[in-house]
Every structure is written in structure tokens, then in C-alpha cells.
Chain A
Amino acid sequence: MKRAQLLAIASTAAAAVTLAACGNYSNEDIDFQLSVPKTEELSTRLPFSASAAPDTAEYYRATREVGSAFNRFVVDVTSLMDSVRVTRPSARTGDERIWGPFVDRGDRSWEVRLRMSRDPASPDPAFRYAFEFHRAGPPGSPWQQLLGGTFGLYRDHGEMILDLTDARASGYPVDGFRDLARLTLRYERRHTPIELTMMVENVDDGTNPGASYRYLENADGSGELAFVSRRASARLTLEVRSRWNPGGAGRADARIGESTAPTGNPRGIDCWAADGHASYVLREYGMRREEGSAAACVFGPP
């Protein structure tokens, strides 16, 4: 081959591959990734991390357990979103990003993917997302949504809805979620107090309809956690509202009663000092009991 021909071929090839750039070098991806909330940003933080000793206030220990349950639900949801932060999108089309499809680690007969989209004409919410699943293998197998919601820019507010109805109906493995049917988590971090709310709806088997939670966190570390748990079988509603100050001292007020008559139900009150030890206890259900002085409570009645 003559050198001139070689040069011509090389030049043509060079021109062609010039347009063959590839990679994930993207500022837009960063916007998507930074807007996915982190687990710790949606978790409750209760006063002092030491495990509740047996002699700490009962309602304080209960509050910690409720907070832990809340955080476990958060992990269930946010773990599905972790792929966004640690991997590059598989596809980019305009204002949409897709991560996956990935083979489901628990069952390789399923594939999962995450879709995020942005509507520049509607900056709030900034992003919509859907975590989807479908049968691996069959071409054209439709995608169904497992988790969806919206994010604000840089994780400042959003909503995450985990709905297992379609998943159970199609056979997608969700045994790890036990009786959970639907979980709605909303977060608001644009101002203080930061507010997290969660609605847990269980499968309707007539026993445990679910619970709702509301968590508030102030900049000084004080906060509040309220939850309502409903037991359909006993037609009971348990409401607990816990409050604590920056030092960790707090008060929890509980009411137990029939769901149709929440007011006037028997009360329970625990007040605790900064070390978690009870300073005042009141029980109006079962055997009535009162210990300590209500004056020792750092908070008054709700």
C-alpha cells in the first residue's frame, strides 16, 4: 500500500473515531446523585446513644425502640437508592437517567432498575424517581414500580413511597418486608425543625393495620418523636409522644384506647433526666401507679 493511501486511510479513521467519546464525566449526574437522600439524613437521632439500661425510663426505652424501627424502615427504602450514589448511570437521555437493569441479588430471575427524571420547567420537585422490577429474560417483560417518589435539590425535601402490592401479586420476592404493604416516607429539611413523617400500612389481615410516625429535630439537638400504632384485632390505638431537650432529658406521654374514642383514654407519662433515669412515672391503665414528682419533668403536658 502506498504511503499516500496509508495516510488517507489513517486520516479517515482518525476523523471517525474523533466522535467516539465515552464515559461518565457529567455535571448533570452529580445533581442527580447529590439529590438522593442519605440514610442518615432520614434517620431519627435520639438522645444519648448508650443502650437503654434496665433502670432507665420505660417510655424512654420504648422511644428508642420506636426510633430504631423507624430507622430500619428508612434503610429498607434508601438501600434501594444506594446504587444511584455509587455507580454511574447506565443510560442518559436528556433529563432522565437510568441505573441498571441489574440482576436482583436475592433472586436472579428478576431484574431491577432505577429511573430518575428531572423536569426543568418544574423545579419543585426537582427529581422524580422510580425503582422498578421485572422478570429477567422474557423480552418486553413490563416494568413495575416498587418504590417511587420525588426529591428536592440537594436532598432538602422529598417523598418516598414503597408499595409492595404489585410486587406480591407478580411474585417478586418481598418476604423481607414481612407484613408491610405500603410505606410512605416524607422529609422536609429546608428549615428547622427538620421533619420526617412515615406512614406504615400493613397487609390487611385484620390484625395490625400499621403505624404512623412523626419526627422533629431542632438545630440544638432537641426533638420529638410521635407515633400512633393501631391494632385492629383489639381495636386499640396506642399514641406516644416523646420530647427531649438538648441535654437529653425528656418526657413521653402515651394514650391507649379504642381507636374510635381517642380522647379521655388512659394515660401514661414518663419523665427522665439527662442520664435516662426516670424522674416521674404515671400509669393510669392496669394498676394505677405514680412515682416521683411531675415538677421534675422538663416538659409540661402536651
Chain B
Amino acid sequence: MKPGPLFLALLLLAPGRVEAQGQGPARRFALVAGNNAGGADTRPLLYATVDAQKIHTVLTELGGVEPQDAALLLDRSATDFLAALDDLEKRVAAAARQGQRTSLIVYYSGHAKEGALRLGETRLDLEALKQRLSARSPADVRIGIFDACRSGVVNRTKGARRGPGFEILADGAQDARGLVLLTSSSADEDSQESDALAGSYFSHHLASGLRGSADRSGDRRVTLSEAYEYAYARTVAETADTAAGAQHPTFDYDLKGNGNLVLAELGNRREGLYLPAAAPAGVYYLVEAGRGVVSAEVLKTAGADRVIALSAGRYQVKRRLPDRLRLGQIEVPRGRLVTLDEASLRDAPFADDPVKGARADLASSRFGLGVGAGFQSFFDAPTRASLFPPTALVSAELQLRHFFRRDWVWALDLAAGSTRATLSRDALGVQLAYQFSEVDAGTSLLAEWPLAGGRLVPHLGARFAFLYLQRRFEGDAAGIPAQHLYTFSPGLVAGLSYRLGLGFSLTARSRVHYLLYNVDENRSLGYWELAGALTHDL
């Protein structure tokens, strides 16, 4: 779930050759922005920039926006946003002077709070932006898309409708002019992110819809109405069971002219995936290979074929069944449609989910329990010889994942070990045999960076431990009373985990610690540990 407000508004596309049937060609411009950071009083989002990249790609591939007419801003400031908007509007004005019809799409995914878009530590007043798009933008048609929490507030005063779809009726005028706003949620709802989709629900389904999933009529064009209906239905359905509750996109428009606006033109594009009628029904996810990002999602019904427009490249195909996944790989050559062969898919456990983030959700629960063994040794030789000998340890660890923030792990560990050693007291000319024992109880806070789709997880963090060290003398020295040391020790941890599947992970870890010894004298000591552990998700 996206903790901060996401704000999605759809700006009405002016009818042009691409947008509306029977209209002359229009030139489209797009400002696409995504900000994961929303300021100190918000939690960082995970997928806002990914959302923006998806929308940018769809608009430039299928939405009729030339790459040079599209500005993509990722984690930039409000000043940068307004500067990019200024630049695009100048170019819109120049195109208009040349007799071209123009449309401007403004998309934002990120935090919004207290009536402002949150671009990092900067603010962009939402009402002011709306007024600019409504009254002062030179484009014939303006479409605003805001994917942010409580984004519906932008439509509240305009009597926005919270509904599954709409039709913009033509009033006879050929040249549409006006403003359309779409938001990802209503004024009192959160907009949510999904780890399983590696994106925001609304933006994901909007992008999928534009790639063909929303082509209800089958005419190889996705209109604004189709795209919104599809995104609305999928968003409501998938958020209904989330902790934050159902999320209802909203729309509003002030448009005159031919309103059946085409947002995506699929007919001229021959790159993508074809699902034949015989392919099993279900939801298919197309995941960019290597990035773990869902490019498109398509609901295929039995007996119907579907086409999804995709950029050339390699994708993993995933279909989710109640007890397993069906996975496969395809390569979409440039300018060609690839037909999915069901026989090329294989059954796989949920742990093998290729979606970035989904593996973290599906393959691992919030808790993990591990057992392991390791070796501990102090850095300097005199300490090893006279105080704390090198020791093998066995350990157990409880992990709480996504604690404090995503990909942070809070771990509690307990270790114990023992060894025999000899203490030389040269001044006395004696060798004293003793049994050294140690018990450690530690707590760690680790940051993880899942790689390779989450199968390899390096981590780095800090640890704080309580140590109980003891030695009991033996033989001729048995009369010497046992000695103990209780102390705390801070340290650093680095390691690498490899997910074996079925909820198991193998971890190799190293630690370095500081210890203050202050009995005979104050000495700052350091020790290192190397350990391996087998962890299972609870």
C-alpha cells in the first residue's frame, strides 16, 4: 500500500488525428513526473518513478507523443516541474502558430498532501496547477493524470464523479477543447502501491489498458473512456481486500467537441504479444526481464484472443494459479508480434515470482527463523592468547522484515560457544588450563538490496550485542575462582543471502565488533566473526 498520498488526474486529450476518429492529426506533448520522496513528513514511495517511466514509455510508443515532445522528470523539484511545463507550453504555442492542433498530457505519480504535490522537499500547489492547465495553457486539450493519495480532492469542487466510466459526448464541434482530470482515488482515500505489481495499482492498470488490455471494442484503439473504465475496474477489484481498503478513481472533464478521444493507437504497432483464443483464461503479467517490472497485465477470457503492445525486448510471462505460477520467457523482436505458446510455460513455486517486490512478498513472510554456526576471533594476538581465545559459535536468529521501512530487517540473535585454552603467566612461570565459554545476545538492524529478482540479497547494517564471557580453570589451577565478564558491544554487519526457494535462504555473514575491556586496565578491543546460517520464513 502506498502510505503517502498519490495523486492521479487525467487531463483531457484534445481530439486530433490520434485522439479522435475523423479528426486531423494533432501534436501531443507530455510532461511525466514521478517522485518517490515527498519530504521529511512522508515515507518514501517505492514505485512512483517506475510508474512515471511506464506511462512515459506507453505515451511515446502508443500514445502519439514524439520522444522529443515528452519530458520525463524523476525525483525532481517543483521548480524543475514548472520549468519543464514552461518549455512544453512554449513549444505548444509554437506548434499552434503553425496551425497544428495540440494536446498536453501532464502525469504525476508521487506524494500529495494538504493541497500540494510533494516533489521531494518542494511543493507544487495543486489548485494553482489546475488553474494553469484550465485557463492559461495554450494547448487545445489538456489531460491531467495524478496518481496520489486523496487525489480526488482536485475534482471535488468541480463535482467530479466517482464512477466506473464515462462517455464524453460529441456536441457536434469537430475541434475538441478543454480539460479532463483523472485521479487515482477519491478525496478521502489512499492511493496504493503494490509489490506484486511493482507499481501503483491505478498507473499499472492504466498503462496495461493503454497497451491493449482496455481495448474492449477490439478496434485496436484504446479510448479515454476504455482506458479509464479498465483502470477503474481493475483498481477497485485489486484494492478491495487490501488493508487500506478499496480505492476508487475519479474523473472530471470540461470538454467541448468530439469527446471520443483515442489515447493509444495499437493498429499501427506490430510489436507485442498475441494470446490466441486457445490460451488458458486468466490474468497474464508481462514482466520486463532483469528489471522485475510489470510492463503490462491482460485479462484473457476463455475463447477470446488478445493483443498486448510491448516494446521490443525480453519478457517473462507469468500467469498466477491458486497453488502455483506458470512462468515462461518470450522475446519480442522489433516490429513483430509473438504468439504465446502455452507449452513453453512451466509450473513454478510462488518463490520464483519474477516481479521485483513480489518475491519479497510472496516468497518471504515478515518473520524468519534461522540457525547457524560461525567463528569468532579477536584481532590482536595478545588478547587471543591471554584473554579471549578464538571460539566456534552456534547461533539462532529471529528476523522481522520490512521493519521501520521496506527492505530493513530487525534481527534478534543468540549464540554460544566454548573452547579449551591455556593461559601463560610468564612472571609466575606457569601454564594454566581453562575452559572458555561465551554467550552472545544481539540485535541487528539491516538494510537489504534484493538483486537478481530477489534471489540474491546483500545486506549491511549495525548490531548491538550483550556478551557474557567466562573461563573456568582446570587441573592445577582449578582452585582459581571462575572469572566472568559482562559487556555490551556495538558492531557492523555485512552479508549475502541466497534464496533457495520453498521459504529457505542461505546466508553468509561477517561482523566486526568493538569491546571495551576494563578490568585490569582500559583496553579497546575488536573482534570479527564469520558465520553461515540457514533461515526459513515463518
Which positions in A face B, CB cutoff 8 Å? 3, 7, 14-15, 17-31, 33-35, 38, 85-88, 92, 153-154
Is A18's CB under 8 angstroms from B514's CB? Answer: yes
B425 partner, pick from A3, A7, A34, A38, beta carbons under 8 A: A34
Q: Name which residue of chain A comes closest to B469, CB basis.
A: A25
CA gap between A86 and B519 in the complex, in Å: 18
B339 surroundings in chain A (CB, below 8 A): none
Nearest-CB residue, chain B, relative to A38:
B479
Complex CA distance for A20 and B486, rounded to whole angstroms? 8
The yes or no answer to B510 lying at the interface (CB within 8 A) is no
**A31 near B423 (CB under 8 angstroms)?**
no
CA distance A299 to B432 in the complex (A): 42
Residues in B lying within 8 Å of A, measured CB to CB: 386-387, 404-405, 423, 425, 427-430, 432, 445, 464, 469, 471, 477, 479-481, 483-490, 514-520
Is the pair A18, B488 in contact by a Cβ cutoff of 8 Å? Answer: yes
Could you tell me if A24 and B404 are in contact, using CB atoms closer than 8 angstroms? no
| List of A residues within 8 angstroms of B485 by Cβ | 21-25
- Measured between beta carbons, the chain B residues less than 8 angstroms from A14 are 464, 488, 490
Q: Is the CB of B425 within 8 A of A29?
A: no
A35: chain B residues at CB < 8 Å are: 428
Could you say which of A17, A21, A24, A33 has the most chain B C-beta atoms within 10 Å of its C-beta? A21
Closest to A24 in B: B483
**A13 nearest in chain B by CB position:** B464
* Chief secondary structure at chain B's binding surface: strand
Report whether A24 and B519 are in contact in the complex, using a CB–CB cutoff of 8 Å. Answer: yes
| Docked pose: A94 CA to B466 CA in angstroms | 27
Chain A hits for B490, CB < 8 A: 14-15, 18
Task: Choose one: B404, B479, B487; the contact of A7 (CB below 8 Å).
Answer: B404
Across the A-B interface, the 9 shortest Cβ-Cβ residue pairs = A21-B487, A25-B485, A23-B485, A154-B428, A25-B483, A23-B484, A26-B519, A28-B520, A14-B464
Contact assessment for B428 and A34 in the assembled complex, using a CB-CB cutoff below 8 Å? yes
Instruction: Report the bound CA distance from A21 to B445 in whole Å.
Output: 23
Q: Is the CB of B516 within 8 A of A19?
A: yes
8 CB contacts below 8 A, A to B, read A3-B405, A18-B516, A23-B487, A24-B481, A24-B483, A26-B520, A27-B423, A86-B479
Contact B430 A34 (CB under 8 A): yes
CB–CB B483/A88 < 8 A: yes
Which residues on A sit within 8 Å (CB–CB) of B404?
Answer: 3, 7
Q: Considering residues A20, A24, A25, A85, which has the most beta carbons from chain B within 10 angstroms of its beta carbon?
A: A25
Measured CB to CB, the closest approach of chain A to B402, in angstroms, equals 12
Q: Can you name 20 extra interface pairs (CB under 8 A) apart from A14-B488, A25-B484?
A: A3-B405, A18-B516, A21-B485, A21-B487, A21-B488, A21-B516, A23-B483, A23-B519, A24-B483, A25-B469, A25-B519, A27-B425, A27-B520, A30-B480, A31-B425, A34-B477, A38-B479, A92-B520, A153-B428, A154-B428
Known A30-B423, A31-B427, A31-B428; judge A23-B520 contact (CB<8 A): no
Most A-side CB within 10 Å, residue of B483, B486, B515, B519: B519
